[in-house]
Structure 1
Amino acid sequence: MTTLSVTGHMDLADETVPLVRAALRELLAGYEPGELVGVSCIAAGADSLFAEAVLERGGRLVVVTPSRDYRDRKVKPQHAELYDRLIGAASEVVVVPFDTAGREAYEAAGKELLRRADRFVAIWDGVPVQPGGRGGTAATVAEARGAGLGVDVVWPSGATRA
């Protein structure tokens, strides 16, 4: 069994979505469907694209939700249908023990992704953490690398953020 956790940008440009989908298909093709577990917070953008690709490959999806109120307070209407579909397809849903979504809850969710991962997938433009910056994709990549996890960066040629 191989467990891949994901981190990535929410603000992918529309024309970047099919590029990332194709790159994820290619990356995940190297894993046997019955041996693949994908762990994602299923936020809009990278997290959901990864979750869809894991399910398409025949892998098992584990969803990590940052707080009990995350769905009601943070999931935008345009993402709600996909979010609900992915929750329904998950073999396990882990709710980080916070009542309210916020920086502390997101950091705890990130630690849960790290704890579960054999490898990390980063749908990331490669821009490093800014001085004094916390959280976000770059910080999660740095934390994964610092923990000794291998990180597969997915950022296809021509990819941009919105």
Structure 2
Amino acid sequence: MRTAITGHRGLSDGVSSLVARALDMQLACLSDYLVGVTCLADEADQLFAEAVLRHGGQLEAVVPAQEYRGGLPEHAHAAYDQLINQAVAVHRCGYRASDSDAHMAASESTVDKSARLIAVWDGMAARSYGSTADVVAYADGLSVRRLLPRRAD
């Protein structure tokens, strides 16, 4: 099953540990064929990617922009490099600057490529464009459109 992730960055160590355990529990319940689709951002994305690999799945990375890696915190670079090298596919969005537009385009791409979305989200409204709340709203809108019956014209 192709599963995407969206989630907050800058999590505390305690919250990161809880998220890692929750991701392991969620992924253990999925089918034998697991593909994780992620932008490999620090925190939730990287925790998800590591969990996918622990559960024998494959990774697909979506890179928002040419300058994306440089915009990640320094402490996330080594994990990003390791995980992107383990990806079976890398999809590039074509943006140069790693900004909100690039991040939202990449997030939409992860959702579009997946059958399921895991959101590590506090439930609060978006603080800036391209945030977790925006990705959840995008996915929710797709789900509603996919479930509505087609009108007979």
Give the TM-score normalised by the residue count of structure 1: 0.83
**How many correspondences in the alignment?**
144
Structure 1 residue matching 2:96: 3-state secondary structure:
coil
Paired amino acid for 1:145: D
- 1:108-149: CA deviation from partner (whole Å, max 9, x where unpaired): 11121121010100011111336xx53200111111011007
- Which residue number in structure 1 is paired with residue 100 of structure 2? 103
* 5+ long unaligned stretches in structure 2: 145-153
Q: 1:115 aligns with which of 112, 115, 120?
A: 112
Paired amino acid for 1:66: P
- Which residue number in structure 1 is paired with residue 78 of structure 2? 81
Alignment of 1:1-162 (within 5 A): 2-33=1-32, 35-71=33-69, 73-129=70-126, 134-148=129-143
Residue pair 2:100, 2:129 contacting (<8 A) in 1 also: no
What is the alpha-carbon distance in structure 2 between the residues aligned to residue 32 and residue 114 of structure 1? 18
What is the alpha-carbon distance in structure 2 between the residues aligned to residue 118 and residue 65 of structure 1? 19
Superposed displacement of residue 67, structure 1: 0.7
What is the alpha-carbon distance in structure 1 between the residues aligned to residue 129 and residue 35 of structure 2? 27
What is the alpha-carbon distance in structure 1 between the residues aligned to residue 56 and residue 44 of structure 2? 19
* 5+ long unaligned stretches in structure 1: 150-162
- RMSD of Structure 2 on Structure 1 (CA): 1.4
Superposed displacement of residue 53, structure 1: 0.6
Residue pair 2:104, 2:135 contacting (<8 A) in 1 also: no
In percent, how many aligned pairs have the same letter?
A: 38
Give the TM-score normalised by the residue count of structure 2: 0.88
What is the alpha-carbon distance in structure 1 between the residues aligned to residue 75 and residue 10 of structure 2? 13
